[in-house]
């Protein structure tokens, strides 16, 4: 990008702007961490501050109260959020997560990451994210349905197939997307399958969507291995997280004949130098009432802590759990040669800097875990056209987009002599800023 470097920072001299910026960032630590990387990349690109400044803030935020009559008859009020970071490149897109500790700062950060992710893989979406403060494990199916439907009604002014399309995220699934789609459709008076993605196949979901994020990670692993000359048949893997994404990644790697020596979830971790039997472990998790690794027994396995997994002697580490897992302290002891981020924001800025200094190659989340939003886009396209594609076609599209995106990022980091993370953000910023300049500033 060749934007005017001379005007970078002019707006920063405005005292009112500085005060607002300082106050905003002091209250939002995750968002501040995301911006630290973004600001660095913007400066290296030499973009004009006036072109970049609007992208540092979300376009729209909504906090809602969700009153629900619980199974015992009393009323409980839950808090929900929907944040739209940018609609410059198209309708906003982003998942909805259910978690007791989720907050607006986290949702705001994830919405921004969706903006950069969609721009990076070059699909016509902006970024959004949603959440409800609740613990699904402590709710009945009926209570969960009531929360979902009321939440959908409360954020109805923001969402829609031309405005903002929700999708599954942490602790949400295709059933919850079905309830959202049905609630939205009830208000419209007709069925609108394109209002949400990640739905069950029976009501317009896409084949291949369930495995899309994990499959995208697999394509990324193949690309980085090919580029670095690594024989994956001889490599070892550790996967942090054995939920929806982590388990899919493990199963796909296992099917390729790759050796996964360590996995974990919130119930604990297991290790086996010769390689874990992922098929057997997956069966255990599927049949376990808690759907966790706990209680799994097999010959030759040993228990490991989360820290031991993250710092284990492996070739490729895949964090597929939650944010801020590879901290400064963890990064100092990381022994993996390559980290492929399957979770959103698993590495803190301080940890990232240490990994870079150690020569660890980090494939950033906005590149490696973009498979989910890519196939969400393909689902949306199918719904708009009233079509159903074969899974082979969906996977072929996904592979093409993921491999092209990786090559674009790799070439840019070689050209600019940066990290893969910086190159990914640069490319995403370039596309978003160009779109904004073409559209102009209203009014």
Does the domain at 212-363 match CATH 3.40.50.720? Answer given as yes
Q: Mean pLDDT throughout 292-317?
A: 96
- Residue identified by tokens 């995301």 is 34
pLDDT at 61 over 60: yes
Q: Are strands 268-271 and 126-132 parallel, antiparallel or unpaired?
A: unpaired
pLDDT at 6 over 90: no
Q: Are strands 164-168 and 92-98 parallel, antiparallel or unpaired?
A: parallel
Closest CA to 224 of 355, 336, 419, 362: 362
Confidence band of 323 (pLDDT split at 50, 70, 90): confident
pLDDT digit string, tens, across residues 175-223: 999 999 999 999 999 999 999 999 999 999 999 999 999 999 999 999 9
The confidence score (pLDDT) of residue 14 equals 46
| Pairwise CA distance, residues 413 & 343, whole Å | 22
pLDDT digit string, tens, across residues 93-144: 999 999 999 999 999 999 999 999 999 999 999 999 999 999 999 999 999 9
The number of residues making up the chain comes to 443
The confidence score (pLDDT) of residue 11 equals 41
Closest CA to 422 of 411, 432, 409: 409
Cβ neighbours around 134 below 10 Å, total: 24
What percent of the chain has pLDDT above 90? 90
| Pairwise CA distance, residues 73 & 146, whole Å | 13
The confidence score (pLDDT) of residue 7 equals 54
Residues near 75 by beta carbon (within 8 Å), at least 6 away in sequence: 67, 68, 69
The confidence score (pLDDT) of residue 116 equals 97
The confidence score (pLDDT) of residue 24 equals 62
- Residue identified by tokens 């950069």 is 116
**Please, how many CA atoms are within 13 Å of residue 370, restricted to the half-sphere of its CB?**
35
pLDDT digit string, tens, across residues 244-261: 899 999 999 999 999 999
- Annotated catalytic residue, options 93, 117, 129, 244: 129
Domain ranges of the chain: 5-56+435-439, 60-190, 212-363
The confidence score (pLDDT) of residue 29 equals 81
| Pairwise CA distance, residues 318 & 314, whole Å | 10
pLDDT at 414 over 60: yes
Question: Do 212-363 and 60-190 fall under one CATH topology?
Answer: yes
Q: Are strands 338-340 and 361-363 parallel, antiparallel or unpaired?
A: parallel
Is residue 228 part of the annotated active site? The answer reads no
The confidence score (pLDDT) of residue 293 equals 96
* CATH class of the domain comprising 60-190: alpha beta
Helix (H, G, I), strand (E, B) or coil at 357: helix
The dihedrals phi and psi of 367, each to the nearest 5 degrees, come to -100, -55
The confidence score (pLDDT) of residue 15 equals 44
The confidence score (pLDDT) of residue 16 equals 46
The confidence score (pLDDT) of residue 1 equals 45
More reliable by pLDDT, 338 or 9: 338
Cβ neighbours around 99 below 10 Å, total: 18
pLDDT at 241 over 90: yes
Angle at 164 between CA 173 and CA 89, to 5 degrees: 120
| Pairwise CA distance, residues 11 & 48, whole Å | 10
Closest CA to 352 of 308, 418, 293: 418
The confidence score (pLDDT) of residue 18 equals 54
The confidence score (pLDDT) of residue 33 equals 87
| Pairwise CA distance, residues 284 & 139, whole Å | 23
DSSP result, 4-73 = -GGGTTTGGG-HHHHHHHHHHHHT-HHHHHHHHHHHHHHHHHT--HHHHGGGGS-SEEEEEEEEEE-TTS
Q: Compute the mean pLDDT over every residue in the chain, rounded to the nearest whole number.
A: 93
Residues near 149 by beta carbon (within 8 Å), at least 6 away in sequence: 179, 180, 183
Q: Mean pLDDT throughout 366-378?
A: 97
pLDDT digit string, tens, across residues 401-410: 999 999 999 9
Confidence band of 22 (pLDDT split at 50, 70, 90): low
For the CA atoms of 201, 207, 208, 213, the dihedral, rounded to the nearest 10 degrees, stands at -50
pLDDT digit string, tens, across residues 329-343: 999 999 999 999 999
Confidence band of 20 (pLDDT split at 50, 70, 90): low
pLDDT digit string, tens, across residues 156-174: 999 999 999 999 998 999 9
The confidence score (pLDDT) of residue 28 equals 67
Q: Please, which residues bridge with residue 304 across strands? A: 269
| Pairwise CA distance, residues 200 & 431, whole Å | 33
- Residue identified by tokens 């707006």 is 11
């Amino acid at each position: 990008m060749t934007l005017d470097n001379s005007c970078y920072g002019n707006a920063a001299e405005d005292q009112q702007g500085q005060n607002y910026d300082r106050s905003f960032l002091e209250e939002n630590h995750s968002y501040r961490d995301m911006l630290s990387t973004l600001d660095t990349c913007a400066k290296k690109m030499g973009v004009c501050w006036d072109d970049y400044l609007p992208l540092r803030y979300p376009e729209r935020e909504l906090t809602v109260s969700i009153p629900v009559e619980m199974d015992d008859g009393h009323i409980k009020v839950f808090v929900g959020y929907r944040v739209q970071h940018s609609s410059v490149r198209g309708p906003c897109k982003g998942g909805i997560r259910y978690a007791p500790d989720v907050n607006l700062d986290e949702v705001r950060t994830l919405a921004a990451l969706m903006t950069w992710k969609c721009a990076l893989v070059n699909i016509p979406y902006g970024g959004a994210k949603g959440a409800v403060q609740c613990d699904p494990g402590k709710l009945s199916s009926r209570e969960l349905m009531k929360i979902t439907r009321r939440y959908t009604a409360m954020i109805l002014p923001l969402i829609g197939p031309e405005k903002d399309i929700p999708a599954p995220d942490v602790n949400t699934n295709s059933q919850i997307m079905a309830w959202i789609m049905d609630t939205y459709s009830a208000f419209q008076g007709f069925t609108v399958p394109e209002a949400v993605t990640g739905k069950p196949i029976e009501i317009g979901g896409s084949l291949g969507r369930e495995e899309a994020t994990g499959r995208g990670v697999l394509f990324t692993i193949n690309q980085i291995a090919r580029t670095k000359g690594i024989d994956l048949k001889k490599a070892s893997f550790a996967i942090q997280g054995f939920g929806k994404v982590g388990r899919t990644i493990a199963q796909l790697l296992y099917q390729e004949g790759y050796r996964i020596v360590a996995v974990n979830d919130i119930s604990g971790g297991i290790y086996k130098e010769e390689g874990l039997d992922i098929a057997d472990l997956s069966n255990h998790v599927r049949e376990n009432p808690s759907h966790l690794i706990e209680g799994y027994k097999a010959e030759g396995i040993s228990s490991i802590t989360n820290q031991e997994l993250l710092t284990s002697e492996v070739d490729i580490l895949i964090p597929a759990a939650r944010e801020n897992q590879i901290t400064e302290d963890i990064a100092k002891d990381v022994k993996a040669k390559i980290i492929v981020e399957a979770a959103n924001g698993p590495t803190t800025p301080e940890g990232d800097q240490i990994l870079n200094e150690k020569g660890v190659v980090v494939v950033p989340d906005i590149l490696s875990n973009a498979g989910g939003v890519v196939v969400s886009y393909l689902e949306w396209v199918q719904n708009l056209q009233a079509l159903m594609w074969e899974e082979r076609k969906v996977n072929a599209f996904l592979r093409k987009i993921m491999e092209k995106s990786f090559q674009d990022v790799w070439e840019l980091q070689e050209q600019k002599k940066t990290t893969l993370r910086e190159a990914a953000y640069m490319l995403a910023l370039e596309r978003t800023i160009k779109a904004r300049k073409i559209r102009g500033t209203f009014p």
